[in-house]
Amino acid sequence: MDKQKMLADYKNQDEKLLLAKVLDKLEFVKSKNKIENTNFLNLYEQDMIDKFLKKIKYKNYYFFGGTGDAERKILIVYPEKLTEDMVRKNHSKMLSVVKIKLPIDLSVEYDHRRYLGAIMKLGIEREKVGDISVKQMGADIIVKNEILNYLMQNLSLLTRFSSAEIESKNIEDLKEIETQKLEMTEIVASLRLDNIVSNLARTSRGKAVEILEQERVFLNFKVETKSSKQVKVGDIITIRGKGRFEFKEIIGNTKKGRFIIKVDKFV
């Protein structure tokens, strides 16, 4: 496997380093005949790795984040002697869920940033933590097993969680994380992606085009840079730094012919 040749087209050093680590995983799987997985990857990294593995015609892999609609996922690669169904029985060896239930008398509700900040305060790398599903007075946090014991021993030592109930659950027991959504009504000139992004990011059309060109927009979890791409009902739009949204329905049109649409924002 000539790594230098395979990575020659990648100029960004961070991307090249990440792909080099993926190639190391592939070599390990081939030589040891064992399942391997990475840290959690964001949508951009998943898309880049997926395209790279397809380019080199590697087939024995998939991404997994705990639930079907998880945003942050690990890459799982496996030897040819195994099938994907066989590999999926090993998820509990890779990931777990930390469930936090806050006391009922807590005066404030914690948001995603507060939970993530607590974990970072313990010195844990962001790459070891997957999706955080914030619920009323609590959260479900998907983590790599390698940090599970440390989290369970130290989370309750933080003042903000000193009175909370904290327990770990098998990832296999997690069906689908109940995600809170904020319903929004938007008026857009057209269903072009740049128009939608402009509204959702609360910015100008020109800035929305820049965001697209910077590969910060994901349509159904894949990088999309085409401004004129038509968005359809049911599509998931993720804007890095702005959030994730689901296009629910077209309610109607204004007198000027603009579209009135309903969008759910994941919170």
How confident is the model at residue 9, as a pLDDT? Answer: 82
Q: Cα 230–243–12 angle (5° rounding)?
A: 85
Q: Is the pLDDT of residue 37 over 70?
A: yes
197-251: pLDDT as tens digits:
999 999 999 999 999 999 999 999 889 999 999 999 999 999 988 988 999 999 9
Question: Smallest Cα–Cα separation from 79: which of 29, 10, 139?
Answer: 29
Contacting residues for 79 by C-beta, under 8 A, at least 6 apart: 29, 30, 33, 34, 35, 60
How confident is the model at residue 62, as a pLDDT? Answer: 97
Q: What percent of the chain has pLDDT over 90?
A: 78
Q: How many residues does the chain have?
A: 267
The number of C-alpha atoms within 13 Å of 192 and in the hemisphere containing its C-beta is 14
Question: Smallest Cα–Cα separation from 35: which of 93, 91, 95, 87?
Answer: 87
Q: Is the pLDDT of residue 178 over 70?
A: no
CA–CA separation, 91 and 79 (whole Å): 16
Phi, psi (deg, nearest 5) at residue 178: -75, 115
Tell me the pLDDT band of 24, cut-offs 50, 70 and 90: very high
Domain ranges, ordered by start, for the chain = 3-89, 94-173, 181-266
What mean pLDDT is predicted for residues 147-157? 96
CATH fold of the domain at 181-266: 3.10.290
Beta bridge partners of 250: 261
The DSSP bridge pattern shows strands 217-219 and 138-144 to be: unpaired
Tell me the pLDDT band of 50, cut-offs 50, 70 and 90: very high
Q: Is the pLDDT of residue 78 over 90?
A: yes
**CATH architecture entry for 3-89:** 2-Layer Sandwich (3.30)
Verdict on whether the full-model pTM lies above 0.75: yes
For 94-173, CATH gives 3.30.70.330
